Structure 1
Amino acid sequence: MSSAVESTTHDDAIVDYEAWKTQRRAAVTAPLGNLALVLTHWSPAGVPAVSDAEARAGQPEDAVLTRLQRTDIDSGEPQEGYRIWRQDSPANQAFEQIESYEYDPAWVIPGRFELVDEQRVVPFEHIRDAGATRSLPVSGDLVFELDGTEYRFAAFDTNHDGHASLQLVFGDTTNGRESYGAGRFLFLDHPGASGDLAPGDSIPITIDFNRAIVPPCGFSNQMNCPLPPLQNRLPVPLRAGEKRVRFADGFSI
């Protein structure tokens, strides 16, 4: 009886995993999906945003314009930016699939979230910032054990799919060989979002690495993704989740 239940649970997990992969493909190929991004532009710090007409110059009528804001790394002043999205982008046309590992229940790992300090920030290097870092809010750590070794990963606070989340940026020894070279992302529901935790408290959390994804910068070179800090790099292969993006022969982002 126990074996039958375990088999059913495993089969259900595989069905859920395949559905998740289908949803991921739909998301990255959507009108504002990662593959559609053809341009990210930032005005100099302190300079007003360019007009819609200037931003759209040379783009087809059906291109989508969105606005961005950030803090300039050097001056700390506000910086205005915009993005252009086109569903007929070269990347979308050349896209074939997101290569993924088979579902593996061994990579559904029990762990805990430890609230360290609600106001803590940690510097993250970003792929397009030439080695400079941007401070991101990391209110706590993800702590888990793997083959007898405890790991403590920094996951920053963000909003994902409309709710409070933890975004884990991690690396492992498959990067650049089997999986995307700059590391991968994993989003988890933020267990401290309710405000019931105080610094020093911890709460159990399940870390399902089968939901690890290729970062947006693996789909478009106009994305500026955070890179895994040293403490978030596993010295072993993590063969779960997405591997990398496969494009038609001869195409590269």
Structure 2
Amino acid sequence: MNATVETAIGEYEAWQQKRRDAVTAPLGNLALVLTHWSPAGAPAVDDATAREGQPDSAVLTRLQRTDIDTGEPQEGYRIWRADSPANQAFEGIEYYDYAPEWVIEGRFELVDEQRVVPFEHLRDAGATRALPVSGDLVFDLDGVEYRFAAFDTDHDGHASLQLVFGDTTNGRESYGAGRFLFLDHPGATSDLAPGDSIPITIDFNRAIVPPCGFSNQMNCPLPPLQNRLPVPLRAGEKRVRFFDGFSI
């Protein structure tokens, strides 16, 4: 094993520990016990009502979104508990071994800064929500070019691309609804115009189980058809492991 791969494996193991720390944190995915949305256009539920029946240690956070049917603003809240059933039953995250072949050099093509793409979400009963997709991740795999839509988001405090993808391991070896991958947004530091492209490294070893794999109170986007690989992608996180008998 060469030094470069040894270093990459060490970084991969450190990243795994960072992920465990994140999902078990007070506001980590495992701590979410309730997500509630008021009817479209209705005022937000007051704090006392939202916290009813919850211990003093529970954390209340607020949400806003656009109602999928009416387009009106919708107010919501979440309750987080460090003693959630999922946190207590959590054993760990299963991983593939580090796979250097899944560190792929590709390019980001800026298509249109105003483009949106409809993404189906797990808890929306087949309806779609339009998410901003300013460009495509383009890469070659075994002589085949793939063009994946990655939507614009803020991750860890900086502009990112969020890739929602599927492959043939889903439901067999990895989480059934697909996985996520976050990349630094090349357009945030480069002066790109529609039609321009810039090289980007796509490290699928950083693929993660979506938040909905840790809590059934999350509503995750699902991979669109163009983001589904017809081959197994054995890199990154596989699935969440709980004690026998526990299910989210």
- Identify which range, 187-196 or 19-28, moves more after superposition: 187-196
Structure 1 residue ranges (4+ consecutive) displaced by more than 2 angstroms after TM superposition: none
**Number of the residue aligned with 2:119:** 124
**Number of the residue aligned with 1:64:** 59
**Number of the residue aligned with 2:168:** 173
Matches within 5 A, 1:110-121: 110-121=105-116
**Number of the residue aligned with 1:237:** 232
Partners of 1:183 and 1:232 lie apart in 2 by 10
One-letter code of the match for 2:101? Answer: A
Partners of 1:73 and 1:128 lie apart in 2 by 12
Structure 1: stretches of 5+ with no match in the other structure: 1-5
Instruction: Identify which of 192, 202, 208 aligns with 1:213.
Output: 208
Give percent identity, aligned residues only.
86
Deviation at 1:244, TM superposition (A): 0.1
**Number of the residue aligned with 1:223:** 218
Deviation at 1:98, TM superposition (A): 0.3
Give the TM-score normalised by structure 1: 0.97
Instruction: Identify which of 102, 107, 131 aligns with 2:102.
Output: 107
Deviation at 1:137, TM superposition (A): 0.2
**Number of the residue aligned with 1:202:** 197
What SS does the corresponding residue of 2:8 show, helix, strand or coil? helix
The answer to whether structure 1 residue 78 and structure 2 residue 73 are counterparts is yes
What SS does the corresponding residue of 2:238 show, helix, strand or coil? strand
**Number of the residue aligned with 1:162:** 157
Partners of 2:146 and 2:10 lie apart in 1 by 30
Matches within 5 A, 1:87-106: 87-106=82-101
Give the TM-score normalised by structure 2: 0.99
Matches within 5 A, 1:18-37: 18-37=13-32
Deviation at 1:194, TM superposition (A): 2.8
When the two chains are superposed, the root-mean-square deviation of aligned CA atoms in Å is: 0.6
Partners of 1:87 and 1:162 lie apart in 2 by 23
Structure 2: stretches of 5+ with no match in the other structure: none
What SS does the corresponding residue of 2:167 show, helix, strand or coil? coil
Deviations 1:148-193 (A, max 9, x none): 0000000000000000000000000000000000000000000011
One-letter code of the match for 1:158? Answer: T
**Number of the residue aligned with 1:248:** 243
Deviation at 1:195, TM superposition (A): 5.2
Instruction: Identify which of 140, 150, 156 aligns with 1:145.
Output: 140
One-letter code of the match for 1:57? Answer: E
One-letter code of the match for 1:102? Answer: D
One-letter code of the match for 1:77? Answer: E
**Number of the residue aligned with 1:15:** 10
Partners of 1:130 and 1:193 lie apart in 2 by 34
